[in-house]
Amino acid sequence: MRKPASRTAPDLMDEMAERFAGNDFIIDGDVRLTYAGFSGAVRDHAKGLYALGLRKSGRLAILMDNRVEWLIAYFAAMTLGGEVVALNTWSTGPELAYQIDHADVRFLIVECRVRDRGFDAVLGDLRGAGLDRLPTLVVVGAAVAGRTVFSDLPALGADVPDSVVRAGVVRPCDIACILYTSGSTATPKGVPLLHGGMIDNMWSIGERMHVMPDDRLWLAVSLFWSFSCVNALFTVMTHGGAIVLQHRFDAGEALALIEAESCTMFYGMPTMALAMSEHPDRACYNLGTLRTGATIGTPEQIQRIVDLGVQNICNVYGLTEAYGNSAVTDAHDCLARRLACSGRALDGVEIRIVDPGSGGVLASGAMGEIRLRGNVTPGYLNDSKRTAEAFDADGYFCTGDLGVLDDAGYVTFQGRLKELVKTGGINVAPAEVEAMLRTHDSVADAYVVGVPDARLDETLAAVIISAEVEPPDPDDLRAHCRRSLSAYKTPRHFKFVSADDLPLTSTGKLQKNRLADMFK
């Protein structure tokens, strides 16, 4: 497979439309667009957005489920040099209002119904949150009196000259999109990502996964998340493959879609694989076409995806600020390695492990903070203070993640730096204790946090999801840990819950900072 010469999203679209004109690119139910068809639709809608007033560096936000219109709007805005703000459909009115105002969004493309809220309710939420200037609105899915309808954009731009969507308008160093962090513990941060980084990074990911033009990606991960609109999308696109959209994840629908469309790539979370595996109709569907893809999780969680049929699943490490992924295992690595670590740094990425206190580079095998240089965001939107704090003197991005780098250059994620528990003056990484607890036959999953202790300052507490009807005995779990871990690494407190009891963000991520509240 030849690497694309293009280094901007619109140029990549043109190049792939020429190389793979008749190949399927986007499949959304009855809508099927080839690479050439997608390119044509994007240009027609881009002219309509131009007629509405969108220009280079103008901000356009998208608020909708995984629909073909999401992707057309994304590329139409980028073709004009616009910057796309991907809005979380689970967000509340105040959360949406903050992001629209903070990013100075001037255009909003919104589905006529967002989750359980109608169009008028969404606008009411925004006004109720104090947003005094609504962006120019374009509605997807139904006509709304007084509003531009997305499907009318091509007609609206019929008289706009082709020169407006010509090649070369956008540069690799221009901002392509702005993604907001979940903001579970603080005000969300706007993360700008550049055209060149999106293409270079995702080409490298696709090479690790051994993606080919005949691959077909099942995509239910929400497009507002970097794992989807940056990673999955451009990994497939740089390799000429097809994307099969699922508007929202539903396990039964996912099984049917993967079989019907002969999907070969799994891009998703272990929780998705678990829901599909446990679905009552699982045995009715053949998932034998699945081959490769990406996920992140514990060895036990990743094994579930392998058991689903994705034999060559790739474990990854990354974060939004680094284009989603910075290290990826190779699909041809042995399974043991893909289960245990997140692979080597991608092309154009440097990884070092440093002492969190001094910033000194640590030797191979030592645990410290993961820092990244290369394909990372240039800084946070409208936030020079957080930007300055995020980079060290050598230009490395400070991830706040703990990890280990081995002699072969493979990185293993060990949890968040802020999650370190200092018990009796000794630092303990919760991930190490969690990994030991998960090896117990009666433990399906485990999460370790620190809770206040009068004598030790903090002590370890474990939230356990049982693999059996009856939860395991706490003393048995302590004895299990003591066989391999020091006494100070053994949890003193246990809480047994179901998966539904875990606090999650709107993107489905665990809010680990809230787990300690379970022990109050």
Give the CA angle between residues 143, 147, 148 to the nearest 5°.
80
Cα of 172 vs its chain's centroid, Å: 22
The half-sphere exposure of 92 on its side-chain side, counting CA atoms within 13 A, is 7
pLDDT of residue 511: 82
The residue whose two tokens read 């589905």 is 111
Quick check: 217 and 238 in contact, CB under 8 A? no
Confidence of residue 12 (pLDDT cuts 50, 70, 90): very high
User: What interhelical angle do 270-277 and 251-260 show, nearest 10?
Assistant: 90
Quick check: 114 and 155 in contact, CB under 8 A? no
For the chain, domains (ranges, CATH) are 9-14+34-195 (3.40.50.980), 249-417 (3.40.50.12780), 420-519 (3.30.300.30)
Mean pLDDT of 347-353: 97
Quick check: 267 and 290 in contact, CB under 8 A? no
Mean pLDDT of 223-242: 97
pLDDT of residue 432: 83
Structure tokens at 174: 């221009």
pLDDT of residue 185: 45
The residue count of the chain comes to 520
Confidence of residue 423 (pLDDT cuts 50, 70, 90): confident
Confidence of residue 26 (pLDDT cuts 50, 70, 90): very high
Residue type, 379: G
Q: How far apart are the first and last CA of the chain?
A: 56
Please name every residue paired with 33 in a beta bridge, in sequence order, or none if there are none: 26
In this predicted structure, the answer to whether residue 454 has a pLDDT above a threshold of 90 is no
In this predicted structure, the answer to whether residue 303 has a pLDDT above a threshold of 80 is yes
pLDDT of residue 184: 44
Structure tokens at 450: 């620190």
Q: What is the pLDDT of residues 317-330, one digit of tens each?
A: 999 999 999 999 99
Quick check: 246 and 254 in contact, CB under 8 A? yes
Nearest-angstrom CA–CA distance, 268 and 232 = 9
Confidence of residue 507 (pLDDT cuts 50, 70, 90): low
pLDDT of residue 119: 87
pLDDT of residue 508: 64
Mean pLDDT of 380-390: 95
Nearest-angstrom CA–CA distance, 156 and 41 = 13
Cα of 388 vs its chain's centroid, Å: 24
**Considering the chain, what is the average pLDDT of its residues?**
93
